[in-house]
Chain A
Amino acid sequence: MTTPSQTVGPYLSIGLPWPDGPEVVPEGTPGRIRLYGKVFDGEGAVIPDALIETWQADADGKFGTDFRGFGRAPTNDDGEWEIFTVLPGALGDGQAPHIDVNVFARGMLNRCITRIYFADSDSDPVLATVPAERRATLIATATEEGYRFDVHVQGEGETVFFRV
């Protein structure tokens, strides 16, 4: 019988952030991108005590290599997070390139799980399970500063969350 989940609470920054948490790849890595965004609550207020975690394949679509694949970034007072990584490659199993994401925050009894894609895809088997009008919430926007991915935990434009 499994141990239940509990909230990270308001003091997660004592235990979880790492100095190199946002650096999935170090500065100077070819193809390094900035992935960033804000986290919002059900009233559109920013969440300044959230934590974003990312898990992805390397640029060739491989797991189990030297590539760390994992990023972790707390939000700041403006609800902003950023992670430096490379674009994931396609896994070769029909899924479009994607990053799995955990969202933790005070007030969340369980983590919220979502995915970041970089383009819509008609053939991706996971996007196919998402109502068409909500798919945009899973797709990062290319900007001059990187790829932006906002998380709306609740309410208008609520991000699609998954159950694993």
Chain B
Amino acid sequence: MDYAGYKSTALRHPQQQLIPLAHRLTETTAPVFGHERVHAGENDLTHNGEAIGQRIIVHGHVKEDDGRPVPDTLVEIWQANAGGRYRHRVDNWPSPLDPNFTGGGRTITDETGYFRFITIRPGAYPWGNHPNAWRPAHIHFSLFGRAFTQRLVTQMYFPDDPLFFQDPMYNSVADRDPKAAERMISAFDYDSTEEQWALAFRWDIVLRGETATPTEAPHA
């Protein structure tokens, strides 16, 4: 939970040992969200009009680690705009907000676990973590799965980003398991581009299975 390269972890990680919680009913269930939770068009972050930047399709499947699809699960995303600026009061990066870009969206996976968003490729942006620190372009994702144990908040990255080497968020995973970090990187998906309209990136999200026992904490 502590990663020296990411300064904000210092005072925000538990120092006591995590206590294993055997999975009982509260841990093996999860909220069920119907389509009332998602309004039409919420999977299109450019729906206010013509957003500035490279229009992209971000799509993929949510599945469990045995390959089973996770249908009807809520997927929520948020991100910076093409200039690397978030629509948020604490973001003072001097890049303009785009009135046509919402920055947040949600959808529900279909019966095969498939999700699809229309958005803008986010820009990189500087932050104060270390000298000349830049976040690689990324999209924040939040998923529920079918059990409390499957809850996941993560970030999707783009292929071949030259900023990974200095990014402590990416490297908090890559340092312990480079292959795991690669699972956060989407793939350019030419076959799913839409002619005269949008490029496409595919990203499959794999939730842990509904195991009966706590797994080892990745950062114990």
> Which residues in A have some Cβ–Cβ distance to B below 8 Å?
1-16, 18, 41-43, 45, 47, 49, 53, 55-57, 63-64, 68-70, 91, 93, 95, 98, 100, 102, 104-113, 115, 125-126, 129-130, 134, 153-155, 158-164
Contacts and interface: CB of A to CB of B under 8 A. Distances in A.
A93 B23 CA distance: 12
Interface of B: 1, 3, 6, 8-16, 18-27, 29-31, 37, 65, 76-78, 80, 86-88, 90-91, 103-106, 140, 142, 148-149, 151-155, 169, 172-173, 177, 179-181, 183-184, 205-208, 214-220
A112 to B, nearest CB: 6
Contact of B25 (A16, A18, A47, A63): A63
Nearest to B211: A164
A91 B9 contact: no
A164 B105 CA distance: 28
B14 A15 contact: no
A57 B26 CA distance: 7
Nearest to A94: B24
Contacts of B8: 106-107
Contact of A41 (B12, B30, B179): B12
State the majority secondary structure of interface residues on A: loop
Nearest to B205: A3
A16 B173 CA distance: 23
A162 B18 contact: yes
B136 to A, nearest CB: 11
Given A41-B11, A129-B19, 16 more contacts: A4-B181, A9-B140, A9-B155, A11-B78, A12-B140, A14-B103, A15-B106, A18-B37, A42-B12, A47-B12, A95-B24, A107-B12, A112-B14, A134-B16, A161-B14, A163-B19
Contact of B16 (A49, A56, A158): A158
Contacts of A43: 11
List 3 tightest A-B contacts by C-beta distance, closest first: A15-B78, A107-B8, A107-B12
Nearest to B91: A11
A13 B215 CA distance: 29
Contacts of A109: 1, 3, 6, 9, 13, 169, 172, 219
Nearest to A68: B31
A107 B5 CA distance: 11
Contacts of B24: 91, 93, 95
A153 B14 contact: yes
Given A6-B184, A55-B148, A57-B25, A70 B15 contact: no
B12 A3 contact: no
Contacts of A153: 11-14
B157 to A, nearest CB: 9
B152 A5 contact: yes
B143 to A, nearest CB: 9
Contact of A1 (B80, B88, B148, B180): B180
B207 A2 contact: yes
Contact of B140 (A15, A47, A68, A107): A15
